[in-house]
C-alpha cells in the first residue's frame, strides 16, 4: 500500500503525451515531421485532453540515432525548423492550457559535437576529460566487459591516441564524463537556456546512467553473451552494478532540482531499470532530485493477471513517490501489436490504459496510441533504425511510422506526392484521426472519454492505493485496485467474468459495460465509483 500524498505540483494528476517529432506532422512538405506541423496539431491534443506535451530531441544532429546523437544542445536542427518555430509551439501549447517538456540527452552526445572533436584533436586539452577514455587491459582486451543498450561492447578504439572511449549506445554517441565539473556546468547552462525560452521541464534521457563506477570495474556476469542475442537479452546477461545508478548520480539531479525550482519545472527521468528499486527510489522519492521517474514494466508485461499485478506492485511497493507510467514509446513495439494485434490487441491496450490511469503517478500516451495503432509494417529495404541489424523485429521503425491524420495521398501527415521519411506501414482509413473523430465509438473517443473521467476524479491523487479481491468464480482473472472511492478493474481472461462489485460505472471499455453491473466482458476494464455502506 502506498502512502497518501498531497497534491502540490502542476504535474500531479497530469497526463502526458510523447511526440516523436519526425513522425508526428510534416508542415514544410519534406516528408519529415517538424515544428510547423506540430503547432497545427496542438488543438487536437487539447481536444483529446492532454496536459503535458513531451517532444523528443530536435537539436542539431547528424541523425545517426535520429536526434539522440546531439551535435549542439542549444540549436534546432534545420530539419525541424528554427528557434522561432519552437517558440511558436511553446506559445500555442501554453495558450491551450498545456505544458511543454523537452528531451535532454545528457548521457552522451554526437561524435560530431565540438566537444568530442576537440577531444580527438587534442588528447591533452581540456575537452578530453569531457569523455571517458581508457587504455586496453593488460592482455590487450577491452577495458571492461560492459555491453551497451543496443547490444555489443561499449568501447571503441581511437587509433590516433591508442585509447578507447566509452559509449553505451552507438560508437557515434560517446558517453560524457559526469565526474568532470565542467560537464555539469555546461548542462546547467543548457537547462537554463531552454527554461528561459518557456519550456516547463525536461524528460531526461538515460537518467540512471550518467555517472559510471569511478574504477570502471566489470559487471558481474550472469550468463554467456552471444552477439546473436536480442539487445535486452545481452543486457540481462549482467548484473549492472557499475554502469548505472551509481550513488553520485543523486547530486546531479539535486543541483538540477534547484534550477527547476526557480522555474516551477518538471524533471522526468527515463529511469530504465526494472531491478534496482532501492537505488532508483532515492532519485525520485526525496523530493530534492527527480520529480518523476518512468517505470517501464508496462511495456514488457504479459496479458495475464499475475504479470500485471507483479508489474504494478513492484514499483508501487518499492518506490514511495514520483512514478511515471507508459505502455508505449518510440523504443518498444506498440502494445496493440504485443497484445495480439487487431481488435484483441486494441481492447487489451485500452484496458491497460484504464489501469495505468488509476495508478499513483503520471501516465503517458505515445502518439497514435489513442488511435489504437499497431506497429506499421516495414519491409527490409525500408529499415532505417541502426538497432537490430537485419532483424526487422529487433528494430524500432515499426512503432515510429508517421501518424495517419487523414485519408488520401500523404495521409494528412505530409503534402500529396511527398515520400515520408518512413513508410506509413499499411495504415487504413480506419486508422486515421479524421475518421475516428467522426465515429463516436472509435478508439480516439474512448481514450478522450477515459481522460475526461480521470480528470473528474482528480481526488484520487491524494488517496492510498489498495489491491482488492473480488469474490466469485474466475475472480483471479480480474485485476482490481482501489483509490479512495474509485475502483479500477480489468478482466484479462478470454471469457466473460462475473463482477459482483456494484456502484456507478464511470467508464467502461466495452459498450455493454456501461449498463451491465454483473458481468465483465473479455478484456474489459471499468472505472467504478463505489459508495461504501
Taking residues 423-439, what's their average pLDDT?
97
Grid coordinates 501518424 are at which residue? Answer: 403
395, 375 in Cβ contact below 8 A? Answer: no
Would you call 51 a catalytic residue per the annotation? Answer: no
**Residue 133, strand partner residues:** 165
Catalytic entry in 65, 205, 523, 524: 205
Asked if 300 and 372 sit in the same domain, the reply is yes
Q: How confident is the model at residue 102 (pLDDT cuts 50, 70, 90)?
A: very high
Instruction: Examine the pLDDT at 5 and tell me if it is beyond 60.
Output: no
Give the pLDDT confidence score for residue 278 in this predicted structure.
81
Residues 303 and 355 grouped into a single domain: yes
Domain harbouring 297, CATH code: 3.20.20.80
Angle between helices 277-285 and 305-318 (to 10 degrees): 60
pTM for the model stands at 0.96
Which of 262, 278, 473, 515 is catalytic? The answer is 262
- Look at residue 473 in the predicted model and tell me its pLDDT: 54
C-alpha cell read off for 447: 481514450
Nearest-CA neighbor of 295 among 284, 306, 307?
A: 284
d(CA 476, CA 467): 12
Do the domain assignments include residue 315? yes
Q: Are 34 and 67 in contact (CB under 8 A)?
A: no
- pLDDT tens-digit readout, 216-239: 999 999 999 998 898 989 999 999
Is there a single domain that holds both residue 444 and residue 468? no
Whether 458 is in a domain gets the answer no
Give me the pLDDT at residue 3, please: 43
Asked whether residue 314 is domain-assigned, the answer is yes
Give the integer Cα–Cα distance in Å for 31 and 41.
16
DSSP state at residue 384: -
| Residue 244: how many other CB atoms lie within 10 Å | 27
Q: Do 473 and 517 share a domain, yes or no?
A: yes
Does residue 508 share a domain with residue 404?
A: no
Q: Are residues 342 and 444 in the same domain?
A: yes
Does the annotation mark 214 as catalytic?
no
Task: Average the pLDDT over 366-386 and give the result.
Answer: 96
**Residue 440 counted as domain residue:** yes
Q: What is the CATH number of the domain that holds 146?
A: 3.90.400.10
Domain boundary among 381, 416, 450: 450
Is 267:260 a contact under the CB 8 Å cutoff? yes
- Same domain for 424 and 294: yes
* Residues 452, 447: Cα–Cα separation, whole Å: 9
Q: Range of 141's domain?
A: 114-166
Work out how many domains the chain is built from and give that number: 3
pLDDT tens per residue, range 227-270: 889 898 999 999 999 999 999 999 999 999 999 999 999 999 99
CATH number at residue 513: 2.60.40.1180
The three three-digit cell numbers of residue 176, written as one number: 560524457
Name all contacts of 342-351 with Cβ < 8 Å and 24+ positions apart. Answer: 342/374, 344/523, 345/374, 346/372, 346/443, 347/509, 347/522, 347/523, 347/524, 348/303, 348/492, 348/523, 350/443, 350/446, 350/447, 350/450, 350/509, 350/525, 351/490, 351/492, 351/509, 351/523, 351/524, 351/525
- Return the exposure string of 17-32: e unless at least 16 CB atoms fall within 10 Å of the residue's CB, then b: bbbbbbbbbbbbeebb
Residue 45 burial (10 A CB sphere; 0-12, 13-18, 19+):
buried
Residue % of the chain over a pLDDT of 90: 86
Strand partners, 176: 131
* Residues linked to residue 466 through DSSP beta bridges, in sequence order: 482
pLDDT at position 512, please?
65
Looking at residue 1, its pLDDT comes to 41
The DSSP H or E segment spanning 520 is strand 519-520
Assigned domain for 378 exists? yes
Residue where a domain stops, chosen among 450, 482, 497: 450
Per-residue pLDDT at 533 exceeds 60: no
Answer yes or no: do 192 and 50 share one domain. yes
For residue 2, what pLDDT is reported? Answer: 43
360/290 same-domain check: yes
237 part of a folded domain: no
If pLDDT is split at 50, 70 and 90, which confidence band does 394 have? confident
**What pLDDT score does 129 carry?**
98
SS (H, E, C) 17-82: EEECHHHCCCCCCCCCCCHHHHHHHHHHHHHHCCCEEEECCCEECCCCCCCCCCCEEEEECCCCCC
d(CA 249, CA 283): 8
Gap between the Cα atoms of 129 and 182, Å rounded: 9
pLDDT band at residue 471 using 50, 70 and 90 as cut-offs: low
152 lies in the same domain as 256: no
Condensed to tens digits (0 to 9), the pLDDT of residues 136-190 reads: 999 999 999 999 999 999 999 999 999 999 999 999 999 999 999 999 999 999 9
Q: Are residues 316 and 395 in the same domain?
A: yes
**Cell numbers found for residue 68:** 539522440
Over residues 426-431, mean pLDDT: 97
Average pLDDT over residues 466-495: 87
456 assigned to some structural domain: no
Range scoring the smallest mean pLDDT among 64-73, 451-460, 489-498, 515-524: 515-524
Between residues 23 and 320, which one has the greater pLDDT?
23
Give the span between the Cα atoms of 194 and 236, in whole angstroms: 36
Tell me the per-residue pLDDT of 294-303, one tens digit each, with 9 for 90 and over: 999 999 999 9
Look at residue 293 in the predicted model and tell me its pLDDT: 94
Q: Which cell numbers in the block locate residue 149? A: 543498450
Average pLDDT, the chain: 94
**Range 416-423 average pLDDT:** 97
Residues 268 and 341 both lie in one domain: yes
Q: Per the domain annotation, does 280 fall within a domain?
A: yes
Angle formed at CA 326 by CA 392 and CA 489, multiple of 5 degrees: 120
Segment 69-89 mean pLDDT? 98
Task: Extract the C-alpha cell encoding 67.
Answer: 536526434
Amino acid at each position: 500500500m502506498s502512502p497518501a500524498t498531497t497534491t502540490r505540483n502542476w504535474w500531479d494528476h497530469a497526463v502526458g503525451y510523447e511526440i516523436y517529432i519526425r513522425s508526428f506532422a510534416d508542415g514544410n512538405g519534406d516528408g519529415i515531421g517538424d515544428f510547423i506541423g506540430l503547432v497545427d496539431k496542438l488543438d487536437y491534443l487539447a481536444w483529446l485532453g492532454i496536459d503535458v506535451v513531451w517532444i523528443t530531441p530536435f537539436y542539431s544532429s547528424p541523425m545517426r540515432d535520429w536526434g539522440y546523437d546531439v551535435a549542439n544542445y542549444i540549436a534546432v536542427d534545420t530539419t525541424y525548423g528554427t528557434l522561432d518555430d519552437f517558440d511558436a509551439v511553446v506559445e500555442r501549447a501554453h495558450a491551450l492550457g498545456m505544458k511543454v517538456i523537452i528531451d535532454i540527452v545528457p548521457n552522451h552526445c554526437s561524435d560530431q559535437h565540438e566537444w568530442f572533436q576537440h577531444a580527438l584533436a587534442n588528447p591533452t586539452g581540456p575537452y578530453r576529460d569531457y569523455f571517458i577514455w581508457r587504455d586496453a587491459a593488460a592482455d590487450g582486451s577491452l577495458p571492461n566487459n560492459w555491453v551497451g543498450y543496443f547490444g555489443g561492447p561499449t568501447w571503441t578504439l581511437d587509433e590516433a591516441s591508442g585509447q578507447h572511449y566509452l559509449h553505451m549506445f552507438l560508437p557515434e554517441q560517446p558517453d560524457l564524463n559526469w565526474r568532470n565539473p565542467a560537464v555539469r556546468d555546461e548542462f546547467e547552462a543548457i537547462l537554463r537556456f531552454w527554461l528561459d525560452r518557456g519550456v516547463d521541464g525536461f524528460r531526461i534521457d538515460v537518467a540512471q546512467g550518467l555517472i559510471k563506477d569511478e574504477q570502471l570495474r566489470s559487471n558481474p556476469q550472469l550468463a554467456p553473451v552471444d552477439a546473436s542475442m536480442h539487445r535486452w537479452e545481452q543486457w540481462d546477461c549482467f548484473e549492472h552494478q557499475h554502469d548505472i545508478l551509481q550513488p553520485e548520480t543523486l547530486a546531479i539531479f539535486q543541483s538540477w532540482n534547484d534550477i527547476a525550482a526557480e522555474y516551477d519545472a518538471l524533471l522526468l527521468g527515463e529511469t530504465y531499470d526494472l531491478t534496482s528499486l532501492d537505488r532508483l527510489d532515492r532519485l525520485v522519492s526525496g523530493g530534492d532530485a527527480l520529480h518523476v521517474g518512468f517505470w517501464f514494466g508496462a511495456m514488457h508485461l504479459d496479458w495475464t493477471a499475475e504479470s500485471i499485478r507483479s508489474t504494478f506492485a513492484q514499483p508501487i511497493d518499492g518506490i514511495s513517490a514520483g512514478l511515471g507510467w507508459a505502455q508505449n514509446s518510440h523504443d518498444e513495439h506498440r502494445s496493440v501489436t504485443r497484445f495480439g494485434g487487431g481488435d484483441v490487441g486494441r481492447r487489451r491496450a485500452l484496458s491497460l490504459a484504464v489501469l495505468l490511469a488509476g495508478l499513483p503517478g503520471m501516465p503517458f500516451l505515445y502518439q497514435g496510441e489513442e488511435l489504437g495503432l499497431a506497429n506499421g509494417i516495414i519491409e527490409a529495404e525500408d529499415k532505417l533504425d541502426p538497432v537490430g541489424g537485419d532483424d526487422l523485429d529487433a528494430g524500432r521503425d515499426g512503432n515510429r511510422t508517421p501518424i495517419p491524420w487523414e485519408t488520401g495521398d500523404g495521409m494528412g501527415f505530409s503534402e500529396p506526392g511527398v515520400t515520408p521519411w518512413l513508410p506509413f506501414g499499411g495504415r487504413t482509413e480506419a486508422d486515421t484521426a479524421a475518421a475516428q473523430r467522426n465515429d463516436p465509438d472509435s478508439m480516439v473517443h474512448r481514450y478522450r472519454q477515459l481522460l475526461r473521467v480521470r480528470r473528474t476524479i482528480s481526488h484520487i491523487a491524494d488517496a492510498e492505493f489498495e489491491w482488492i479481491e473480488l469474490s466469485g468464480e474466475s475472480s483471479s482473472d480480474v485485476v482490481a485496485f482501489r483509490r479512495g472511492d474509485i475502483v479500477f478493474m480489468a478482466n484479462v481472461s478470454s471469457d466473460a467474468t462475473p463482477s459482483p462489485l456494484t456502484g456507478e460505472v464511470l467508464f467502461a471499455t466495452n459498450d455493454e459495460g456501461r449498463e451491465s453491473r454483473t458481468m465483465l466482458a473479455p478484456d474489459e476494464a471499468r472505472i467504478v465509483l463505489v459508495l461504501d455502506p
